[in-house]
Chain A
Amino acid sequence: MAAPVSAEVLESDLSSAMALLKNLQEQVMAVTAHIQALTKKVQARAYPTEKGLSLLEVKDQLLLMYLMDLSHLILNKASGGSLQRHAAVLRLVEMRTVLEKLRPLDQKLKYQIDKLIKTAVTGSLSENDPLRFKPHPSSMMSKLSSEDEEDEAEKGQSGASGKKSANGAVKKYVPPRLVPVHYDETEAEREKKRLERAKKRALSSSVIRELKEQYSDAPEEIRDARHPHVTRQSQEDQHRINYEESMMVRLSVSKREKGRRKRASVMSSQLHSLTHFSDISALTGGTPHLDEDQNPVKKRKKVPKKGRKKKGFRRRR
């Protein structure tokens, strides 16, 4: 028992205890009356749950069982027993875990349950109710599908299936109406654009990139990246590959094309990039210098017609 306490403490405690106990008694009576009313209603089958959501029914039953066990334990404790290793405690723990696992499911169903309740309460939903919108996959299927659709079910890899032959009525081709824009780009504007492009190219050159890496705090990344400047040759190669694979043919490579390819590949595989730096004069404001590999602006010399007509004279670049 507790140590001997003074009488004043006991007296104050006693009055608050009496008040609390009286409160408790009142509440217990109210709750009992409420529960008795509910039980009568349930026994009179006022709440049929056969056609309802099974999740909610499970929750109902679990909560009821929880209450029963809890009240049993309270009774036990009130009459002085201990809760140690009571079977009801384990059951309570189990039910609590299940209820907590059901909570995310509940969240997922929240939308549907709200919609159902709203329909039940108000009768029907209005036309513009956002709860009425749901996806209609049947309206996404093309109504022009012919018998070809059924026997095109391929096993294995399925890429783009062939175009449907029955594509509806053939419509007359109407060219798109493009609005013509006045062209009045002056020489100065052209110069400015050229300068901007040169600046952009210079910013992504190796010199500037290394400077950036030197002064930035970010960790050094070693990446196997593709060349940032897509050369014309690589673009042409890509175009050729795309054409070959879509047309299922192999194109022959002319001598000139072979030479161009060889030059482009040789240029990139040498140690050229170690000693030759790209032009950053656009940023520094100096005079632009062209490297040997870049094609200079071609000056077309006037080829004398006489020379052209000469037989056997063939100039291969």
Chain B
Amino acid sequence: MNNTMTIWTRKFMTNRLLQWKQMATDVLHPGKATVPKTEVPGKLVKMYKTTPHVTFVFGFRTHFGGGKTTGFGVIYDSLDYAKKNEPKHRLSRYGLYQKKNTSRK
């Protein structure tokens, strides 16, 4: 199977206030279904030479007609900053946080 997934990043910005580097990621996957969120951080890690536990991606929307998906990517300076600044639902996607299911009553 030809691995034709290409990733472009746009609007790259280093945000010192949140200690992250943010970017808009364009994933090109002509002829294939939308690429799952779990595969994209791997490619970003290779592009920016970081570690996988500080790269988070979210907000993927596929354009009409298929072939192109746009989302956002965020690379933290360290895992401590990631745990501090990242919303809990995104951390739980990567297994760094577990929501406590306390009973309501």
A residues with a Cβ closer than 8 A to B are: 148, 152, 154-162, 165, 244-246, 248-250
A148 contacts across to B, CB distance below 8 A? 16
Given contacts A162-B14, A248-B59, 8 further A-B contacts (CB under 8 A): A148-B16, A154-B21, A159-B23, A162-B15, A245-B10, A245-B72, A248-B22, A249-B59
User: Once the chains bind, are A162 and B72 in contact (CB under 8 Å)?
Assistant: no
B10, chain A: closest CB distance, angstroms: 7
For window 1-54 of B, CB contacts with A under 8 Å fall at: 9-17, 21-24, 47-49
Q: A248-B72, A249-B59 known; A159 and B47 CB under 8 Å?
A: no
User: Once the chains bind, are A162 and B23 in contact (CB under 8 Å)?
Assistant: no
A185, chain B: closest CB distance, angstroms: 41
- Residue of A158, A160, A245, A248 with highest tally of chain B CB at under 10 A: A248
Write the chain B residue with the least CB distance to A156: B48
Can you give 12 A-B contacts (C-beta < 8 A)? Answer: A154-B12, A155-B48, A156-B47, A157-B12, A157-B23, A158-B12, A159-B10, A160-B11, A160-B12, A245-B70, A248-B22, A250-B59
Tell me which of A152, A157, A162 contacts B9 (CB under 8 A): A157
Interface string of B64-105 (1 = CB under 8 A from A): 000000101010000000000000000000000000000000
User: Once the chains bind, are A152 and B59 in contact (CB under 8 Å)?
Assistant: no
Write the chain B residue with the least CB distance to A249: B59
B85, chain A: closest CB distance, angstroms: 12
Chain B contact residues: helix, strand, loop or mixed: strand
User: Once the chains bind, are B14 and A154 in contact (CB under 8 Å)?
Assistant: yes
* CA gap between A158 and B23 in the complex, in Å: 10
* CA gap between A161 and B21 in the complex, in Å: 9
Tell me which of B11, B13, B49, B59 contacts A162 (CB under 8 A): B13
User: Once the chains bind, are A161 and B13 in contact (CB under 8 Å)?
Assistant: yes
* CA gap between A152 and B13 in the complex, in Å: 11
* CA gap between A165 and B15 in the complex, in Å: 10
User: Once the chains bind, are A156 and B49 in contact (CB under 8 Å)?
Assistant: yes
User: Once the chains bind, are B11 and A159 in contact (CB under 8 Å)?
Assistant: yes
B10 contacts across to A, CB distance below 8 A? 159, 245
User: Once the chains bind, are B61 and A160 in contact (CB under 8 Å)?
Assistant: no
B21, chain A: closest CB distance, angstroms: 8
A159 contacts across to B, CB distance below 8 A? 10-13, 23
User: Once the chains bind, are A160 and B47 in contact (CB under 8 Å)?
Assistant: no
User: Once the chains bind, are A250 and B49 in contact (CB under 8 Å)?
Assistant: no
User: Once the chains bind, are A160 and B59 in contact (CB under 8 Å)?
Assistant: no
A148, chain B: closest CB distance, angstroms: 7
B16 contacts across to A, CB distance below 8 A? 148, 162, 165
- Residue of B13, B61, B74 with highest tally of chain A CB at under 10 A: B13
Tell me which of B11, B12, B70 contacts A246 (CB under 8 A): B11
User: Once the chains bind, are B11 and A245 in contact (CB under 8 Å)?
Assistant: yes
B13 contacts across to A, CB distance below 8 A? 159-162
B17, chain A: closest CB distance, angstroms: 8
* CA gap between A162 and B19 in the complex, in Å: 11
* CA gap between A165 and B61 in the complex, in Å: 33
- Residue of A155, A157, A158 with highest tally of chain B CB at under 10 A: A157
A162 contacts across to B, CB distance below 8 A? 13-17
Write the chain A residue with the least CB distance to B73: A248
* CA gap between A281 and B1 in the complex, in Å: 58
B23 contacts across to A, CB distance below 8 A? 157, 159
* CA gap between A162 and B70 in the complex, in Å: 22
B21 contacts across to A, CB distance below 8 A? 154
A315, chain B: closest CB distance, angstroms: 30
Write the chain B residue with the least CB distance to A148: B16
User: Once the chains bind, are B14 and A152 in contact (CB under 8 Å)?
Assistant: yes
Write the chain A residue with the least CB distance to B21: A154
* CA gap between A250 and B11 in the complex, in Å: 16
User: Once the chains bind, are A155 and B14 in contact (CB under 8 Å)?
Assistant: no
